[in-house]
Amino acid sequence: MSNIPNVLAQRYASHDITSIWSEEGKIVLEREFWIAVMKAQKELGLDIPEEAISAYESVKGKVDTKSIAERERVTRHDVKARIEEFCDLAGYEHIHKGMTSRDLTENVEQLQVFLSLNLIIEKSVSALIAIGEQAKKHSDIQLTARTHNVAAQATTLGKRFAMYGEELEKALRSTQFILSEYTVRGLKGAVGTQMDTLTLFDGDEDKVAELEAGILKHLGLPYAANAVGQVYPRSYDFEVISSLFQLASPMASFAKTLRVMAGHELASEGFAKGQVGSSAMPHKMNSRTCERINGLQVILGGYLNMASNLSGDQWNEGDVSCSVVRRLMLPDSFFAIDGLLESFLTIMQQFEIYPSVIEKENNYYLPFLLTTTILMEAVKNGGGREEVHKAIKEHAIATVRDLRNGEINENDLLEKLANDKRVGLNADKLAEILKEKGSSSGLAKPQTTKFCLSVEEWKQKFPKAGDYKPGKIL
Amino acid sequence: MSNIPNVLAQRYASHDITSIWSEEGKIVLEREFWIAVMKAQKELGLDIPEEAISAYESVKGKVDTKSIAERERVTRHDVKARIEEFCDLAGYEHIHKGMTSRDLTENVEQLQVFLSLNLIIEKSVSALIAIGEQAKKHSDIQLTARTHNVAAQATTLGKRFAMYGEELEKALRSTQFILSEYTVRGLKGAVGTQMDTLTLFDGDEDKVAELEAGILKHLGLPYAANAVGQVYPRSYDFEVISSLFQLASPMASFAKTLRVMAGHELASEGFAKGQVGSSAMPHKMNSRTCERINGLQVILGGYLNMASNLSGDQWNEGDVSCSVVRRLMLPDSFFAIDGLLESFLTIMQQFEIYPSVIEKENNYYLPFLLTTTILMEAVKNGGGREEVHKAIKEHAIATVRDLRNGEINENDLLEKLANDKRVGLNADKLAEILKEKGSSSGLAKPQTTKFCLSVEEWKQKFPKAGDYKPGKIL
Amino acid sequence: MSNIPNVLAQRYASHDITSIWSEEGKIVLEREFWIAVMKAQKELGLDIPEEAISAYESVKGKVDTKSIAERERVTRHDVKARIEEFCDLAGYEHIHKGMTSRDLTENVEQLQVFLSLNLIIEKSVSALIAIGEQAKKHSDIQLTARTHNVAAQATTLGKRFAMYGEELEKALRSTQFILSEYTVRGLKGAVGTQMDTLTLFDGDEDKVAELEAGILKHLGLPYAANAVGQVYPRSYDFEVISSLFQLASPMASFAKTLRVMAGHELASEGFAKGQVGSSAMPHKMNSRTCERINGLQVILGGYLNMASNLSGDQWNEGDVSCSVVRRLMLPDSFFAIDGLLESFLTIMQQFEIYPSVIEKENNYYLPFLLTTTILMEAVKNGGGREEVHKAIKEHAIATVRDLRNGEINENDLLEKLANDKRVGLNADKLAEILKEKGSSSGLAKPQTTKFCLSVEEWKQKFPKAGDYKPGKIL
Amino acid sequence: MSNIPNVLAQRYASHDITSIWSEEGKIVLEREFWIAVMKAQKELGLDIPEEAISAYESVKGKVDTKSIAERERVTRHDVKARIEEFCDLAGYEHIHKGMTSRDLTENVEQLQVFLSLNLIIEKSVSALIAIGEQAKKHSDIQLTARTHNVAAQATTLGKRFAMYGEELEKALRSTQFILSEYTVRGLKGAVGTQMDTLTLFDGDEDKVAELEAGILKHLGLPYAANAVGQVYPRSYDFEVISSLFQLASPMASFAKTLRVMAGHELASEGFAKGQVGSSAMPHKMNSRTCERINGLQVILGGYLNMASNLSGDQWNEGDVSCSVVRRLMLPDSFFAIDGLLESFLTIMQQFEIYPSVIEKENNYYLPFLLTTTILMEAVKNGGGREEVHKAIKEHAIATVRDLRNGEINENDLLEKLANDKRVGLNADKLAEILKEKGSSSGLAKPQTTKFCLSVEEWKQKFPKAGDYKPGKIL
């Protein structure tokens, strides 16, 4: 059983996120939580000796995961095992008073989620800023836009970045909202009625409320649930993971698009020094980091699926068929999105374009890309929309076929159109359109500028996000 | 092919929601959209004859779905078929100028989503209000709370309702946020650059912006995307369906809980007049509507899965492998959540409890439900938490086994505890605890009251929601 | 509520499959089932008048779905409604004796699944045969194989078809196995103990067994479950839908690949007469049918998700939170795979390649495609594998960059390699390799031939499958 | 990044399964694979010195995962890193000749899947045998069967086990079929054409075939794919994981049912020595292992979701967005099903029933459970089915309500029926039915016996499976 590490933590996620979820880290968080509860209880009048608190504090860093695992094997109860370990170390029995397991675990796990969500939002803003930089840098690079993977009209590379960036902005706003509303379970006792805390304080409701408020403050969180059961509703986990999936989506679409672009040699994700494309085909420069992003989104989708199966499946005041799932799904979802962000930021650093290939493609398709413009001009000139459309279509398809069959070497669409009375535009007019509009990408540039301005606002709200550099990726 | 109706629309969803998504309804919405565009275009200077607009307006209600289907069979392009049909009816060729299919379909579909989301929010508030009423009504009914489906401590039935209600409130706030941020694609042309509209207006950027603003106003929507491609990002659909799934979750958990409660005959979803429980077992009063709620959530999960597979899978400026999926997933997700809400509201109307069964259960478990209180008292009395816990556990398990084996008929736990020195509480003290705490459910009642106050605020914001009555369900 | 058809049935599925699942069709199947049970019961000695059976038979085709819906609205029980309708039509009360609802519905629904599965297997063999024809036809077309969407080595177009075909063959074998093991619930009564049938026959176990065997024969199915509850295990549905998803996978991978190939203009799915690529961009020849295939697979994935949520969620002898789900999921899964097969078969009919574009691509990449061969030769010539690999890599990457930057117009890799001592092959040797191996695709052809022979065997087992022609698609 | 273990491997899976997937274990498997290839190559005439092979063999057990990770950080290519490490250790460069990464990794991973599948089948047979034992042991325990979680008719506990067992048998047969058809990729080179191996052997096709056959024999696998690309079709992974999910389903349904039964105190999963039910409520005996089974099935569902997203998403000859997913999904799916089986086997060992509670429930519901029998008798006695049904329903519902409202203490249904002429059975006849049928569970027992006979056949095919004892669970 020895060496089976968590693949996501080991290979893809950053230290910042894994340290929130490591076994030792969590145990320390829990112990701090217990100590905070004891202190607050003492302050509210419970008889807890000062030296007991000191004893617990002095041993809180002594984390022996093997010993705890040994205890769990006997008790078959993980929290009990951790209570016993901590008490034996301290030589007292004062922690966990008036508490049930879930008073500890729910709040600590939610704290982990909260801290992770903060980190992911910050890193997503870094990604957004990186997109903004690329959008700005390439705002004048004309590009053949594709729909259905077929050349359609001209756009710019800058706008293509802006498109994904704007999608990310929306996901970020939603995730920020979720964070701002994040609600922990609080100290609610075995079934949510706070009965045991109430007993501890001899029925003093105010003290119960003060104790919870104090703990909330310790957690650094604004809201606690009011009428909750043994556990907080699992739809809260679902919402969080759903937002991670949403954050991943624009980056996943970008990655797929870059894989397609790389197939045309228009651009690539770049190549780190020393990297080997393929052990057998040394010339290959694979979009492996893009593929990884798409893979990590598939993984997030799997965890979303798990989360959706816990949400709405709670019996009575709570059940824990969710337990084994959440142990896996919560850290791994954050590891996956973190690894995805690290991968994306790396691509943003190394992204390369091949301007001469881009230009070659533009020239090849130009007359086609102008068909809608020509259609507009023909209609303005008095042509019936449907008839002109039909004529253009005939010639466009003929040109496509001739090019594909090698019968012509250059796109002769304009020539064909000039000779068709239905269109009603002569060769001169068509040449003029080509000259005037050939380098036009509509409003792609002002749209990009608008997006970049919006990114600036994010930068001001998250002043450190722009400086973040991804770690070295595998 | 004749008679295969949409099962969700036919059996579960209300007329209000299906009318938004019916074939005829959508075609009329589209035609109104085209006419609005024409009018705005004319106002901005395009040469469109008044009589053409009138002609279109006069035939906009003539919807012949068969004729349109016939046309699509030839063109293999649904929008083209609908353009041709409308133009032939009107005798003009003026619609769809400077527009691509997606300028029409994206915006109209998003309008359908927006209208549906509004309706579902309103109906969810109705559900919340109904929960609030049940919570209030049953705020004094003491109930044996269960965790792991095992009797744990006392709570109240009112609080159990409040628990699901509070989860619904959170989902509602999130859904409202999504609605408030809802962003349509706008009039962006074939690849998002607005090139054709720009051509139409001879390069006048302001007119392009004014046209879009006018259309937005027509749709009644606040935001349009800026840098978007052929289609709006499918993560927007994902977010919406994800919020529907989240809304469903508290109701699904309630339904499962009521199925468990009905198994104990503590409560039931009620029985409509004339209803047959089982064709073979006439005494059966099945939780069929609860089961339906759970089934509809499974269905929502399936659509969420589809939505997640479109999100992050967009190549370049857009692809339409999403087309067939969205035709199905968008209406059906709304039909499913609507049917779920109708089912839930019906249960809220017919919900029944069996107080004598509830009381019998309470009495049976009472000494067990008090163990944590006894533990607290023993600890306050100087006992070591772990040692007392161990003693109580031994006796509790013994009592459980004796009861189950028929060796005793009444719960004798208190007697056993009184005789154990480790506990340190005598029979009198234990009797006192039973008397004082036996009817206590901790802070269940004030929590319920707090929840009900919160419901009142929703009621004020949605003044009509409280009056909504669900339709008759199958 | 009027006009909301089932989208999949209306737009994509064939008549053959929809007729199995139409409302009327199912009701007739049910009535035939009841009559078969009555006849068998009479034969085994029950007192059922001949004229009652005749009366039922004479009205079995009178299907009035509105009247049945009306009854269900009162009874809130769908089977009860259909019993009442049929009895009122016949003027007798003899059907459904000793039966519970599930004795009817489970078996009839499983019959629908069984018939549908048969049909889908047959149609999948048609798809396999069509792939075989394409593989054969294009077995000599050399093609630049891509991995990571980057040119890798030479293959043939025929082999690319064979690759997807072989995946389909494996899925077909699995689906055939599932069909051969298909197990219906049989006549098992309310909870599976056959108590009521046993009562009907005064405790005669043999008659109970004979009755079930007779019904099985009527259904044309080999197996009935033995120890089953109220319903058959929902993992059986899961298995079926999982096999449909598996069948779809090779076609979905093919569709994605063709979308990529169309982007390079190597091939296309073809264009039906009268088809419009885009209303705004008439030259566009979109891979819309391929996209539809990918969309339909997403839909199948959604239903698979629903099926997975029913499987393993059965309480006690059975619950019906599955009811609403199965009403939707079972027919729609079959409609989706049927529509997918129709789409795929249409593409197989219209598939086009552009040989001159294919050749151009081959020439552009040829020296790269040979790098592994050169590596092999260099190693055979005494070079160290890792050192040669390093050298080739350096030059290959340099060549790629030079080509992309427009610094060279022709692939000069071989020249560069000839000048590098580490490789150890001179210009003559390299030219010889180019000449000898340039047109080689390894064993692509014999692999294709082997695949085609295997398809022949399927053809013999399914003699009609090769003649099937897909319906006109939308 | 230090201490983040794989949760499933650490807490739930057995050593047998984790050892197949450990990092070290896999590296050794790979090295053995390379050596086997070298030997076969030498035999077929390649010039590989004997001492090189010996050198590789002597270091194959020296696994330094840190050193390999270090190399990967530079090359960003995992296979390359492992080649370099092995070659440096051996001091030769002879491995991986004519191979591409996938020739190694695909086959080794498929070997891991194959070995794991074998192990899981064996352990599932152990589970089936354990079910058989429970079915036999409890074949005479009458039990109140429930549908819709409501008392329906009598069955036996033995049959309830048989029901889940029979579902497991079907899943086992399907999984065995998948194993028997398992097909590895084989040695196919970079894009599947075997070009490099062909070059290695100077175009000798027979040698290419012999090499692959030799390797297959080394793997102990019967089939290799013929026309395959860079990777084997990912639908093969999907099929395997789908079968794991199917295997889990009957155990998951059993676990849910036992959770419901435990809520009624009819039975429990048992309690290991030293186990603590709840840290706060010592009397609680939670169905935690059942809950774990349900959680592990949710996890399997998540991996199934990931698998479904790789299946049908392969571009051209292969892409590796699947890479990161498969690293996680393949081992973890097997860990999850293995942990689930360990949990299930533990429950089978500790399962307890409470006969006096079971009997109490039977008595309470008995008259209701007989309603279908009474209905049958009444019909035989000349009553109209629908009318008698109506009468019974009225009285049954009245009795239910009276019992629930505490108005009566004993079930008086028979008395009420005796007084209703529509039923047509007098008190004596009804008493007789009660006496004769009250202890009947229909054919539950012979069904159970038939199931147990079938289990015997499995036992003979898997002679060791019956002896397997699960490890201690956490």
What subunits make at least 3 CB pairs under 8 angstroms with B? A, C, D
What subunits make at least 3 CB pairs under 8 angstroms with A? B, C, D
Is residue C281 within 8 angstroms of chain A, CB to CB?
Answer: yes
Q: Please name the amino acid found at residue C192.
A: G
Distance CA D208, CA D212 (A): 6
Distance CA C211, CA C208 (A): 5
Asked if A418 and A425 count as a contact pair (C-beta separation under 8 A), the reply is yes
Per-residue b/e over A169-200, b at no fewer than 16 CB within 10 Å?
Answer: bbbbebbbbbbeebbbbbbbbbbbbbbbbbbb
Tokens 């199966």 sit at which residue?
Answer: A309
Mean pLDDT lowest among A47-61, A80-94, B365-379: B365-379
B386 to chain D: closest CA residue: D279
- The model's pLDDT over D152-204, given as tens digits with 9 standing for 90+, comes to 999 999 999 999 999 999 999 999 999 999 999 999 998 999 988 898 898 99
Distance CA A53, CA A36 (A): 10
Residues near B413 by beta carbon (within 8 Å), at least 6 away in sequence: B367, B368, B371, B395, B396, B399, D283
Q: What mean pLDDT is predicted for residues A397-423?
A: 89
Beta C142-147 vs C150-156: how paired, if at all? antiparallel
Beta A183-184 vs A223-224: how paired, if at all? parallel
Give the distance, in angstroms, between the CA of residue D354 and the centroid of all CA atoms in the same chain: 29
Stretch 382-401 of chain B: residues touching chain D, C-beta under 8 Å: 389-390, 392-393, 396-397, 399-400
Asked if A454 and A390 count as a contact pair (C-beta separation under 8 A), the reply is no
Structure tokens at D253: 């349904």
Mean pLDDT lowest among A311-315, C291-295, C430-434: C430-434
Structure tokens at D277: 């039910």
Measured between CA atoms, how close is A219 to chain B, in angstroms? 20
Interface contact C260-D227, CB threshold 8 A: no
Is residue D274 within 8 angstroms of chain B, CB to CB?
Answer: no
- The model's pLDDT over B245-303, given as tens digits with 9 standing for 90+, comes to 999 999 999 999 999 999 999 999 987 655 555 555 667 788 999 999 999 999 999 99
pLDDT at C68 over 80: yes
Chain A, chain C: beta-carbon pairs less than 8 Å apart: 131
Interface contact B282-D147, CB threshold 8 A: no
Q: Which residues of C touch A285 (CB under 8 A)?
A: 150, 397, 400
Residue D439: the pLDDT is 78
Asked if A336 and A299 count as a contact pair (C-beta separation under 8 A), the reply is yes
Distance CA D99, CA D37 (A): 10
- The sign one gets for the Cα dihedral B217, B218, B221, B225 is negative
pLDDT at B474 over 60: yes
Residue D323 has its nearest CB partner, among A77, A291, A472, at A291
- The sign one gets for the Cα dihedral B32, B38, B40, B43 is negative
Structure tokens at B80: 């083209």
B401 to chain D: closest CA residue: D354
Residue D276 has its nearest CB partner, among A77, A276, A310, at A77
- The model's pLDDT over A35-44, given as tens digits with 9 standing for 90+, comes to 989 999 999 9
Q: What mean pLDDT is predicted for residues A231-239?
A: 97
DSSP string, B389-447: HHHHHHHHHHHHHHHHTTS-SS--HHHHHHT-TTT---HHHHHHHHHHHTT--TTHHHH
Interface contact D404-B357, CB threshold 8 A: yes
Structure tokens at D7: 């949760």
Q: Which residues of C touch D266 (CB under 8 A)?
A: none
Confidence of residue B331 (pLDDT cuts 50, 70, 90): very high
Q: Which residues of C touch B327 (CB under 8 A)?
A: 7, 11
Asked if A163 and A254 count as a contact pair (C-beta separation under 8 A), the reply is no
Residue B1: the pLDDT is 39
Confidence of residue C361 (pLDDT cuts 50, 70, 90): very high
DSSP state of D5: B
Q: Which of A436, B23, B104, B113 is nearest to C278 (CA)?
A: B104
**Averaged confidence pLDDT in chain C:** 92
B74, B87, B311, B341, best to mutate vs chain A, most A CBs in 10 Å: B311
Confidence of residue D276 (pLDDT cuts 50, 70, 90): low
Percentages helix, strand, coil for chain C, rounded to the nearest 5? 65, 5, 30
Percent of chain D beyond pLDDT 70?
97
DSSP string, A280-326: S-TT----HHHHHHHHHHHHHHHHHHHHHHHTT---TT---TTHHHH
Residue A101: the pLDDT is 87
Q: Which residues of D touch C257 (CB under 8 A)?
A: 314-316
Confidence of residue C334 (pLDDT cuts 50, 70, 90): very high
Is residue C408 within 8 angstroms of chain D, CB to CB?
Answer: no
Q: Which of B355, B338, B22 is nearest to B157 (CA)?
A: B355
**Comparing A163 with D277, which gets the higher pLDDT?**
A163
Residue B215: the pLDDT is 86
CA distance readout (Å), A391 to A306, A425, B310, D54? 53, 12, 35, 74
Residue B104: the pLDDT is 95
Residue D10 has its nearest CB partner, among A1, A101, A325, at A1
**Comparing A215 with C242, which gets the higher pLDDT?**
C242
Q: What mean pLDDT is predicted for residues A57-63?
A: 96
Q: What mean pLDDT is predicted for residues B53-77?
A: 91
Asked if D266 and D207 count as a contact pair (C-beta separation under 8 A), the reply is no
Residue A389: the pLDDT is 86
CA atoms within 13 A on the CB side of C96: 28
Q: What mean pLDDT is predicted for residues D375-382?
A: 88
Interface contact A324-D12, CB threshold 8 A: yes
Q: Which of B215, B307, B221, B296 is nearest to B255 (CA)?
A: B296
- The model's pLDDT over A330-381, given as tens digits with 9 standing for 90+, comes to 999 999 999 999 999 999 999 999 999 999 999 889 998 888 889 888 988 9
Residue B276: the pLDDT is 52
pTM over 0.90: yes
Tokens 């999504």 sit at which residue?
Answer: B178
Residue D298 has its nearest CB partner, among A77, A299, A309, at A309
Is residue D169 within 8 angstroms of chain C, CB to CB?
Answer: no
Q: What mean pLDDT is predicted for residues D129-142?
A: 98
Is residue D222 within 8 angstroms of chain C, CB to CB?
Answer: no
pLDDT at A67 over 50: yes
Angle at C37 between CA C31 and CA C42, to 5 degrees: 125
Interface contact B295-C8, CB threshold 8 A: no
- The model's pLDDT over C150-160, given as tens digits with 9 standing for 90+, comes to 999 999 999 99
Residues near C438 by beta carbon (within 8 Å), at least 6 away in sequence: C366, C370
**Comparing D283 with A91, which gets the higher pLDDT?**
A91
Distance CA D334, CA D188 (A): 27
pLDDT at B209 over 90: yes
Asked if D157 and D138 count as a contact pair (C-beta separation under 8 A), the reply is yes
D258, D275, D278, D283, best to mutate vs chain B, most B CBs in 10 Å: D283
Per-residue b/e over C91-100, b at no fewer than 16 CB within 10 Å?
Answer: ebbbbbbbbb
Interface contact B228-A166, CB threshold 8 A: yes
- The sign one gets for the Cα dihedral A423, A427, A428, A434 is positive
- Helix (H, G, I), strand (E, B), or coil: what is residue D147? strand
A304, A321, A472, best to mutate vs chain D, most D CBs in 10 Å: A321
Is residue A199 within 8 angstroms of chain D, CB to CB?
Answer: no
Helix (H) or strand (E) holding A267: strand A267-268
**Averaged confidence pLDDT in chain A:** 92
Length of chain C counted residue by residue: 474
**Comparing C111 with D3, which gets the higher pLDDT?**
C111
- The model's pLDDT over C21-64, given as tens digits with 9 standing for 90+, comes to 998 989 999 999 999 899 999 999 999 999 999 999 999 999 99
Is residue B100 within 8 angstroms of chain C, CB to CB?
Answer: yes
Q: Which residues of A touch B226 (CB under 8 A)?
A: 162, 166, 447, 450-451
- The model's pLDDT over B413-468, given as tens digits with 9 standing for 90+, comes to 999 999 999 999 999 999 998 888 887 899 999 999 999 999 999 999 999 999 99
Asked if B350 and B290 count as a contact pair (C-beta separation under 8 A), the reply is no
B1, B22, B106, B287, best to mutate vs chain C, most C CBs in 10 Å: B1
Residues near B263 by beta carbon (within 8 Å), at least 6 away in sequence: D146, D149, D150, D260, D263, D264
Measured between CA atoms, how close is A122 to chain D, in angstroms? 20
Confidence of residue C371 (pLDDT cuts 50, 70, 90): confident
Distance CA A339, CA D322 (A): 15
Confidence of residue D1 (pLDDT cuts 50, 70, 90): very low
- The model's pLDDT over D57-115, given as tens digits with 9 standing for 90+, comes to 999 999 999 999 999 888 778 898 999 999 999 999 999 988 888 999 999 999 999 99
A189 to chain D: closest CA residue: D280
- The sign one gets for the Cα dihedral A56, A61, A62, A64 is positive
- The model's pLDDT over B337-346, given as tens digits with 9 standing for 90+, comes to 999 999 999 9
pLDDT at A415 over 60: yes
**Comparing D399 with B280, which gets the higher pLDDT?**
D399
Q: What mean pLDDT is predicted for residues C134-138?
A: 98
Is residue D409 within 8 angstroms of chain B, CB to CB?
Answer: no
Q: Where are the beta strands (DSSP E) in C205-286?
A: 223-224, 267-268
Interface contact D149-C319, CB threshold 8 A: yes
Confidence of residue A274 (pLDDT cuts 50, 70, 90): low
Residue D286: the pLDDT is 87
Residue D406: the pLDDT is 84
Structure tokens at D331: 């081992």
Helix (H) or strand (E) holding B46: none
Confidence of residue A438 (pLDDT cuts 50, 70, 90): confident
DSSP state of D466: G
Distance CA D129, CA D345 (A): 10
Q: Which of B474, A467, A158 is nearest to C74 (CA)?
A: B474
ipTM above 0.90, yes or no: yes
What subunits make at least 3 CB pairs under 8 angstroms with C? A, B, D
Residue A325: the pLDDT is 97
Residue A1: the pLDDT is 39
Interface contact C256-D174, CB threshold 8 A: no
Q: How many other CB atoms are there within 10 angstroms of residue B454's CB atom? A: 18
- The model's pLDDT over B66-117, given as tens digits with 9 standing for 90+, comes to 999 999 888 778 898 999 999 999 999 999 988 888 999 999 999 999 999 9
C33 burial (CB, 10 Å; 0-12 / 13-18 / 19+) is buried
